[in-house]
Amino acid sequence: MSVPAAEVRARPALSGGWSVGLRRLLGPDYRMGYLFVTPIALLVLSLVAYPFCYAIYLSMTYKLVGVPPVFVGFENYVRLTWDGFFQRAVINSFVFTFGSVGFKLVLGVVMALVLTSPIRWRSFWTGVLLIPWVAPTVVSALNFLWIFDGSLGVLNYLLVRVFHVLPQGVGWLSEPRTAMASVVAVNIWRGFPFFGISFLAGMKAIPAELYEAAAVDGASMLQRFRHVTLPGIRNIMIIVVLLSTIWTFNDFQIVYILTKGGPGGMTMVMPVLTYETAFGAQRLGEAIAVALYLLPALAVTIMVLARYMRKGRQR
Amino acid sequence: MRGRAAGVVERTVAYAVLTTLAILVLFPFYWMTVTSFKSEEQMRSLVSMFWPKPFATENYGQLLTKTEFTSWYGNSVFVAVSSTLLATAVGTLGAYALARLKFLGRGFMASATLITYLVPPSILFIPLYKQMQALGMANSLSGLIAAYPSFTVPFVTWLLMGYFESIPEELEEAAMIDGATRFGAFYRIVLPLSAPGVLAAGLYAFTQAWNEFLYALVFITDGRLRTLPVGLASFITGDVYGWGYLMSGAVLTTLPVIAAYIYLQKYMVDGLTAGGVKG
């Protein structure tokens, strides 16, 4: 970028020898730029980059709480690979993540579609539907823990006594058949509004002429959705699905509060296993190996996602 | 008229779907509030299920006098407000630099900030905990205030970068032609114009800090120093859950977030759609 003439004129004092060279090398706004960016750089280094590298090191050690770490290379990873409980946790994490994200995607599209249709009080409805996204997740998880309660929970009350759908109550979170579906349902409940609001923004940005042109060509509502709406929000969809995949895969609170991974490991996902290994079993090295086990996949996802997010901005 | 009939059908379907979704979304909060006003007796005998008769306020009394709830409330306010102020200040400056200023390394820093935003806490909480221990900040609120910027700052920065980019550059150039410095242009022109964006970003940072659970669970071992989410969750570790006072605590924890949200909904929705993702 060339230096705007106005700027040079505004600060004639700076156009002496040294600073001209520096400005050419580091860019016209380098002083204010570095000044403003330094706090972020320090935070990123000390709160993310350093802990991240430290995590990789610790995952290659045998480390009990209170004892200095002993370097063991990839031993933790190798041991985990053949550990049946860990394997189950990996599978559970994938089931939890893709089950949740799939439903959130569908519900999000539905939410965006109804919010773009000609309704009254649009911002009221938008506001109501966004509440699960702003409410504290712990509160929501506790609410569902109470709703799902086997003996006094309102879900059983509704299904058994009010609607007579079930002959007797179900221990939603304590029975192996229903536990995973229940925690997935709570994750969907909490996460779908984010999908909806993002798709809504994308749909609003689609020019009305495209829909009019499609209508003139005789396209049905379904065809317009298929050929105008979906391509129009394609990029947002990719971004939101990838973001939510990362968030859901690493979601700790919902599962920790609802089941702690039970019954019998049926809902044990990797973040909860990390926590339990670190603070239950006190094996820190192994715990971090659990957290970092799928790092290559996470890194690829983050890189792809970051590209899409930056591309989305540059337009 | 075919078109109008289709419109009526479409609207009816839309309202039906909206009502269903709204019931699903609101029911847990309705249920939480109803429960908080029920006595233990009412709950156990499954009477007056959907509207407490009579209204019992004993849960709130118990919560406020017999538990450490009020200390937790104070802790949460202190941690969330401090880390929000920190994140908003640092994030605003950084976002402006990354969105507008021209200097070597800008692109790299922008990518680094974004990637930082995407790194999940579940892989950072153990090393961060060790780090806080080494600094003597584990088991103290200052440890949380120090750690929360790891997710609030990248988020605020990313959100505001989008906001600053949407403000026409000509405004600043005009100000600088009139003799303003680069900083003056930022401080007097851009900052006032982006007040709604900064407010939205700050509110999101506040919500994130207020709702944070994992770091607070791991870092804090002293019962009195807990934040609200961890404190509430600690009610369920006993054998007998006091659902009544747990739900009254849940109501009081949700209130500030929902109140801020209702009051500033427009800013928050616009902020999220403008800065969160844009395609």
The verdict on B235 and B220 lying in the same domain is yes
CA B236 to chain centroid, in Å, comes to 23
Query: B158: which 2 tokens?
Result: 């990313």
Which of B16, B50, B66 is the endpoint of a domain?
B66
pLDDT at B259 exceeding the cut of 50: yes
The verdict on B61 and B155 lying in the same domain is no
Q: Does B16 fall in a domain?
A: no
Tell me which H or E stretch contains A259: none
Residues A170-201 as b/e (b if ≥16 CB within 10 A, e otherwise) read bbbbbeeebbbebbbbbbbbbbbbbbbbbbbb
Can you tell me the distance from the alpha carbon of B59 to that of B35, in angstroms, rounded to the nearest whole number? Answer: 9
Residue B46 pLDDT level (bands cut at 50, 70, 90): confident
The verdict on B133 and B194 lying in the same domain is yes
pLDDT given at position B273 = 59
Judge whether A180 is closer than 8 Å to chain B, CB to CB.
no
Can you tell me the distance from the alpha carbon of A52 to that of A54, in angstroms, rounded to the nearest whole number? Answer: 5
The verdict on B61 and B79 lying in the same domain is no
The verdict on B53 and B164 lying in the same domain is no
Beta-strand pair A61-62/A70-71: antiparallel
pLDDT given at position B95 = 94
Q: Does B114 fall in a domain?
A: yes
Query: What is the tens place of the pLDDT at every residue in B212-246?
Result: 999 999 999 998 999 999 999 988 876 556 888 89
The verdict on B235 and B114 lying in the same domain is yes
Q: Does B213 fall in a domain?
A: yes
Please give, rounded to a whole number of angstroms, the shortest distance from the CA of A297 to a CA of chain B: 12
The verdict on B115 and B235 lying in the same domain is yes
- Domains of chain A and any CATH numbers: 5-45 (no CATH), 75-314 (1.10.3720.10)
Return the half-sphere exposure (C-beta side, CA atoms, 13 A cut-off) of residue A252.
22
Query: What is the tens place of the pLDDT at every residue in A234-267?
Result: 989 999 999 999 999 999 999 999 999 889 899 9
Per-residue pLDDT, averaged over A125-140, amounts to 92
The verdict on B268 and B197 lying in the same domain is yes
Which residues on A lie below 8 Å from B113 (Cβ)? 40, 44
The verdict on B247 and B168 lying in the same domain is yes
Can you tell me the distance from the alpha carbon of A17 to that of A248, in angstroms, rounded to the nearest whole number? Answer: 55
pLDDT given at position A1 = 42
Query: What is the tens place of the pLDDT at every residue in A155-199?
Result: 999 998 889 888 888 899 999 999 999 999 999 999 999 999 989
Can you tell me the distance from the alpha carbon of A95 to that of A91, in angstroms, rounded to the nearest whole number? Answer: 6
Q: Which domain holds residue B47?
A: 37-66
Strand, coil or helix: what is A61? Answer: strand
Q: Does B100 fall in a domain?
A: yes
Q: CB–CB of A36 and B94 under 8 A?
A: yes
Q: CB–CB of A138 and B121 under 8 A?
A: no
Q: Does B78 fall in a domain?
A: yes
Can you tell me the distance from the alpha carbon of A98 to that of A248, in angstroms, rounded to the nearest whole number? Answer: 9
pLDDT at B4 exceeding the cut of 90: no
The verdict on B208 and B248 lying in the same domain is yes
Q: Does B258 fall in a domain?
A: yes
Residue pair B38/B44 in contact (Cβ under 8 Å)? The answer is no
Strand, coil or helix: what is B278? Answer: coil
pLDDT given at position A2 = 45
Residue B77 sits in a domain of what CATH number? 1.10.3720.10
Residue pair A195/A244 in contact (Cβ under 8 Å)? The answer is yes
Can you tell me the distance from the alpha carbon of B239 to that of B251, in angstroms, rounded to the nearest whole number? Answer: 22
Q: Does B106 fall in a domain?
A: yes
User: What is the count of structural domains for chain B?
Assistant: 2
The verdict on B163 and B211 lying in the same domain is yes
Taking the model in full, what pTM does it have? Answer: 0.90
The partner residue sitting opposite B102, judged by closest CB among A29, A143, A298, is A29
Mean pLDDT estimate for chain A: 88
Q: Which long-range contacts (CB under 8 A, 24 or more apart) does A233-237 make?
A: A233/A112, A233/A199, A233/A202, A233/A203, A233/A206, A233/B279, A234/B279, A235/A202, A235/A308, A235/A311, A235/A312, A235/B279, A236/A198, A236/A199, A236/A201, A236/A202, A236/A312, A236/B277, A236/B278, A236/B279, A237/A105, A237/A199, A237/A202
Q: CB–CB of B207 and A30 under 8 A?
A: no
Please give, rounded to a whole number of angstroms, the shortest distance from the CA of B154 to a CA of chain A: 8
Can you tell me the distance from the alpha carbon of A103 to that of B228, in angstroms, rounded to the nearest whole number? Answer: 30
The verdict on B41 and B98 lying in the same domain is no
The partner residue sitting opposite A129, judged by closest CB among B25, B113, B121, is B25
Can you tell me the distance from the alpha carbon of B210 to that of B41, in angstroms, rounded to the nearest whole number? Answer: 33
pLDDT at A102 exceeding the cut of 90: yes
